[in-house]
Structure 1
């Protein structure tokens, strides 16, 4: 049996956070414009449920990103492989994440950390465990912790 999955991340501004993670991971922002136009034309979606971001129509409060090499549904723009979905929630983030991403670089870790900072990440703490590992804890623009090894 094959299972499909996506990681869903609560956010305050889903499209902006999706843009950060798409740039950070080299992913593609999903474009649901065709699906939204079909739903609007059929009267199955109110105009208030739609907004625009990056030249695309998106569902208000949601934005997805996918790996550029993975398959996706052309009718909906939704990825069928490695995928993150950002959904707006009313409450702010208040504590440490219970789940986080580890971003691994095959090149220079310090250069990757600097690139992520330019995109809007913030350094939190460096961990050097000698032969056991060396990594940085960073926060994305909304304060979600992630590691760079």
Structure 2
């Protein structure tokens, strides 16, 4: 039996950090607009629970997710059924080092990948060059979450 999973990341601004990671990983930012419209029309969701984005898409306030573009998803809800990261707003700020982080693989284009991620809002922290063992950068996403690029 194969277990399904998603990674959930606490955030300060789920919408903004989902946009960053969607662009960084070349994933799709999920669009639950059709589901939200249906729930609003049926009176099953208060308007205060919804955030409308500048492009007209709607999101559940405090939540946003990204999914791999080739994985299956529910067309009504926009929710991915494969590789997926859900960002959820929490009231407290990040404190301390992550206990879990993503490794982004650059396919031999380390500097180009690091530069692209910087252009999206990431920050270089520390370069590690272990010779034949590996060469990578520790970076921070716009909310200060550590990740590595190798």
TM-score band, normalised by the shorter chain? over 0.9
Residue of structure 2 in register with 1:144 after alignment: 145
CA offset digits 1:15-70 (Å, max 9, x no partner): 00000000000000100001111111111110000011243110000001100000
Gaps of 5+ in 2: none
Deviation at 1:5, TM superposition (A): 0.8
- TM-score normalised to the size of structure 2? 0.97
Alignment partners' CA distance in 2, 1:147 and 1:79: 24
Residue of structure 2 in register with 1:37 after alignment: 37
Gaps of 5+ in 1: none
Following TM superposition, where does structure 1 have runs of at least 4 consecutive aligned residues deviating by more than 3 angstroms?
none
Alignment partners' CA distance in 2, 1:141 and 1:52: 22
> In 2 relative to 1, CA 128–107 (structure 1 residues): closer, same or farther, beyond 3 Å?
closer
Residue of structure 2 in register with 1:64 after alignment: 65
- TM-score normalised to the size of structure 1? 0.98
Alignment partners' CA distance in 2, 1:111 and 1:30: 27
How many residue pairs are counted as aligned between the two chains? 149
Residue of structure 2 in register with 1:116 after alignment: 117
